[in-house]
Amino acid sequence: MAGKDYAAWLQKEAASLAETLGENAKITARAADLPLLKNVELPMLYAGVPAGERTRRAKEWLDRVGMAERMKHQPNELSGGQKQRVAIARAMVNEPALILADEPTGALDSQTSRTVMDLFHEMHNTYHKTIVLITHNPELADECERVLTLRDGLIVGERKGSGKRAAL
């Protein structure tokens, strides 16, 4: 892929992936030298999706998150918010039932945070995805339907969120 041999890495990583799980992971060093289109195709490669279908779905999700015009760009050419939108596209391309989003807005400005949260709301409301959002931001947590509070790895609280969009 992209003129590089990823075979050994792919064999090691593919075993740990589940088709029902999408992770909103940051673009890591192992994928940092891939253009965005190939970056978003990676989860489908692990899942054995044929090349043409991988490309079609990756383009579709890059378009959904507003990044289609940058699909040939490298991750180092993106802002934090753009990287986060690419990570969301990569998490969604295999149409997982569950998405894990660990601090998806932690390093973003308020406007970009709002965009990212709106994408999560769309994925939940339109595509019926379950999203586990990990955040230290109480306003973002309150946007969720259910809020669990953890301390030292234990659930110490549970409440219903307001479901209202926070003014970030």
Query: Max Cα separation, the chain?
Result: 50
For residue 115, the Cα-to-chain-centroid distance in whole angstroms is 13
Is the predicted pLDDT of residue 72 greater than 90, yes or no?
Answer: yes
Q: Encoding tokens for residue 155?
A: 């659930």
Q: Which residue has the higher pLDDT, 17 or 79?
A: 79
**Quick count: other Cβ atoms within 10 Å of Cβ 49?**
18
For 3-50, what is each residue's pLDDT tens digit? 555 555 544 554 444 344 445 454 444 466 789 999 999 889 888 899
pLDDT class of 95 with cuts at 50, 70, 90? confident
Percent of the chain with pLDDT over 70: 80
Per-residue pLDDT, 36? 92
Task: Please tell me the distance from the alpha carbon of residue 26 to that of residue 119, in angstroms, as a whole number.
Answer: 16
Bridge partners of 158, per DSSP, are 148
